[in-house]
Amino acid sequence: MDNEFFIDSEHLSQKALEKKHRLENDPSSRKNHMEYLPGMEQIESDICKKVIGQMNSYDYSQYTAKDVKAALEHEICTIEDFKALLSPAAEPFLEQMAQKARTETGKHFGNTVYMFTPLYIANYCENYCVYCGFNCYNHIKRMKLSMEQIEHEMKIIADSGMEEILILTGESRAQSDVEYIGEACKLASKYFRMVGLEIYPVNTDEYRYLHECGADYVTVFQETYDADKYETLHLLGHKRVWPYRFDAQERALMGGMRGVAFSALLGLSDFRKDALASALHVYYLQRKYPHAEMSLSCPRLRPIINNDKINPLDVHEKQLCQVICAYRIFLPFVGITVSSRESASFRNGIVKIAATKVSAGVSTGIGDHESKYTGKESDSIEGDEQFEINDDRSFEKMYRDISDEGLQPVLNDYLYV
């Protein structure tokens, strides 16, 4: 990997520009996105075949109002019922879906809403993903926090009352190696009751090491389960290898992680098929690892650099609500997270129906929590954000708003003995 072409370069070299042009315009110049790279662990698992088989055979145009009504009447939601609830035929039944989803949520989660905040500790990246603000060809301000800076950020967040943190990095092993992330996990364990990771996928032994350092769960966005579309969006880097990313959650569970989270970035491809695949990924792994906690995130594509190059497919709030309600009906025990990509009004509404977890006090930049949480000017240089958030409410404001909706904000419900 010629990192000097991609990281902290205000003006790309001619060689880098030529390579970028080839990657964008000549598919034969790209590595096979289905072939593992050296050092990538391959596991024997039947999950991928099951998920993709169901996704590829899914013709949502064949479902009718009759199918939707039957799905809503069934006490247990089958895979066929779930397919009907994701179909266009279900759109006129959104109110009935919401009522059923609300009932299921109440059965298993009561009126609680869990809260967490993300902490980006580095934004260096070696991947060329055309839709991502961190991608290696974008000229942005790059930064990697030192352990002292990480602890400072964590203390500021913990002082606000937050008890769960999600640690994120850009996908660069060279700049953010597993040991660096592990040390950040050890620091996080001093300040928080729950520590999550959203980093580049790693091997089973590395997940085991990170768990020993204090990480409780791992989130991996597959982005899109459509491997052909994935190939056109991920042109360079380890992230280009579709099957290695798909198996990340299973490797994390094999490595001892307590929980895993799944997501497609709705809008990159056919959102109905991606939603089906995301939920089935959870469904099949849940049966293989019944002890594990599993959750789904529901992000939509946000405005980013190069947005015009990816032809995003519109996913409106009504359609997002349909997906989330279908998730809840099909997977009643699974946590559902709705991020700050969505508006405050949408998040206020969906937590009363199906979502069980929200982020608060969010920054997708690097090293800026002091200025955002306290209003003080920070001495550190701040790194650029990954994407634009929509709901910028502080932890305190989010807590009040959830309470005002008649819900119970929960910061942590784990006891360590």
Question: Closest Cα partner for 70 from 60, 84, 59?
Answer: 84
pLDDT (average), residues 20-33: 89
Strand partners, 168: 120, 198
Does residue 388 lie in a domain region? yes
> Torsion over CA of 127, 130, 131 and 133, rounded to 10 degrees?
60
By percentage, how much of the chain surpasses pLDDT 90? 74
Asked if pLDDT for residue 102 goes beyond 50, the answer is: yes
- Tens of pLDDT, residue by residue over 350-375, are 999 999 999 988 876 787 677 666 66
Q: How far apart are CA 75 and CA 86, in angstroms?
A: 17
Q: How far apart are CA 414 and CA 416, in angstroms?
A: 6
Does residue 212 lie in a domain region? yes
Does residue 416 lie in a domain region? no
- Tens of pLDDT, residue by residue over 267-319, are 899 999 999 999 999 999 999 999 999 999 999 876 555 555 555 567 899 99
CATH number at residue 350: 3.20.20.70
Does residue 271 lie in a domain region? yes
What rounded mean pLDDT belongs to the chain? 89
pLDDT (average), residues 229-243: 95
pLDDT (average), residues 232-249: 96
Question: Closest Cα partner for 199 from 225, 175, 174, 172?
Answer: 172
pLDDT (average), residues 35-64: 97
Q: What is the pLDDT of residue 7?
A: 46
Secondary structure (3-state) at 104: helix
Q: How far apart are CA 278 and CA 225, in angstroms?
A: 8
pLDDT (average), residues 47-66: 98
Domains in the chain, number: 1
Structure tokens at 88: 């266009």
Does residue 284 lie in a domain region? yes
Does residue 234 lie in a domain region? yes
- Higher model confidence: residue 365 or residue 9? 365
Does residue 253 lie in a domain region? yes
CA distances to 218, 232, 276 from 264, rounded to whole Å, are 15, 16, 10
Q: How far apart are CA 308 and CA 269, in angstroms?
A: 15
| DSSP element (H, E) containing 217 | strand 217-223
Asked if pLDDT for residue 19 goes beyond 50, the answer is: yes
Does residue 191 lie in a domain region? yes
CA distances to 16, 20, 50, 138 from 11, rounded to whole Å, are 10, 13, 45, 10
CB atoms within 10 A of CB 265: 24
DSSP code at position 263: E
Structure tokens at 52: 């993709």
Contact 197, 210 (CB under 8 A): yes
CB atoms within 10 A of CB 78: 11
Q: What are phi and psi of 60, to 5 degrees?
A: -70, -10
- Domain limits at 401? 3-410
